[in-house]
Amino acid sequence: MVLNSQRRIEVEKWTIVLCLEMETRLCENAEAGRTWAVRRSNCTVFEVFADYSVMVDLEQRTCSCRLWQIDGFPCTHVVAAILAKRYSVYDYVECYYKTDFFRKDYESPIFPIPDIGKGLGSNGSAAGVVLPPITKRSAGRPPTKRIKVFGEFKRPLKCSRCSVAGHNRKTCKAII
């Protein structure tokens, strides 16, 4: 509860778009991809030349290095393509990295739980202690019939008069 309260106060002070760690990671990605050559295939597809060629599709939100699809956070290739097109990088970051989403996480309160060690329950026992059920041995001789295992079946009835399965001698309708 204390940690939640401290983080809520800390988040309210933030004036940046992304969380602190993600903002620094975005700056590092922008700095790393600043010198790379970016060629435009069409309005949303780019080819970024780092040590190797990488394809970036801004509309589909895909990069051939697959980091953008895994994280939902633009990798260095994507940032280089976005900056070459002069778009806002923040539009291509998933919402759960943004401070608004972070604020929503901490705006709901966590209610304190009362101390269960104090006080007595309705039956005089300590609250929170679960007692075993009261058991009483049933009257009479205990049953001796064996409980059948799952998958064990009864033997089908077989008539002793006509030797057909499915009925017994008493219910047999065969002509004698």
Single pTM value for the model: 0.58
In a domain, 129, yes or no: no
Residue 9's domain spans which residues? 2-107
User: Does residue 116 surpass a pLDDT of 80?
Assistant: no
Determine, yes or no, domain membership for 149. Answer: no
In a domain, 159, yes or no: no
More confident of the two residues 90 and 113: 90
Asked if residue 38 lies in contact with residue 47, where contact means CB atoms within 8 angstroms, the answer is yes
pLDDT attached to residue 130: 79
Residue 76 belongs to some domain of the structure: yes
Residue 73 lies in a domain: yes
> Angle at CA 20, nearest 5°, toward 17 and 24?
95
Mean pLDDT of the chain: 85
Does residue 62 lie in a domain region? yes
Is the model more confident about 37 or about 143?
A: 37
Q: In this structure, is residue 20 part of a structural domain? A: yes
CA distance 40 to 134: 78
- Answer whether residue 128 is part of any domain: no
